[in-house]
Amino acid sequence: MEIVIFLMYYDYTNKRTPMKGLIKFFDKLEDKVRGKLSHYPILYAVLGGIGVVLFWRGVWHIADELNLGSIASMVIGSVILLITGVFVSEFIGSKIIMSGIEGEEKISEKAKAELETEETELDDIKTTLDRVEQKISNLEKELGDK
């Protein structure tokens, strides 16, 4: 209980408080760990996955210890998700919502159009590169003749 009170203590003035120090410590630690793990993406993914699973396992066990039934869990979870604004974006996805608001094509159709555009751009780049190679070849021949 004392740990919970300690962690909840936060002074909104400019004074250095235990909570501000704790946040600063973990912020710096996170930066260092992310910097090192970014060089090892598979290890980074495995550790991240383990962290997520253990976090949700803890949430699950807390709900069990509080004897929350399935309906109560669903209602409480839905309220939390709705209040935080995560409900819609989690279950529908922000890209689908934004494309609907902006009146855009379906994401699959948009992806196909983007691929076709990208293919055309790559063909243009290849043509330009071929011309540059030809000019370099011509210049080398001219220099070789002199």
73-131: per-residue pLDDT in tens? 989 988 888 887 777 666 666 565 555 666 555 555 666 677 778 888 888 999 999 99
Instruction: Answer for the pair 12, 3: CB distance below 8 angstroms, yes or no.
Output: no
- Joined together, the tokens standing for residue 46 give 């495995």
**Residue 144 phi, psi (nearest 5):** -70, -30
- Give the position of tokens 């997520």: 52
| Cβ within 8 Å of residue 76, ≥6 positions away | 68
Confidence category of residue 22, pLDDT binned at 50, 70, 90: confident
- What is the rounded CA–CA span in Å between residue 115 and residue 97? 22
**Amino acid in position 94:** S
Q: What is the pLDDT of residue 26?
A: 84
- What is the rounded CA–CA span in Å between residue 3 and residue 16? 18
- What is the rounded CA–CA span in Å between residue 4 and residue 1? 5
- What is the rounded CA–CA span in Å between residue 94 and residue 100? 10
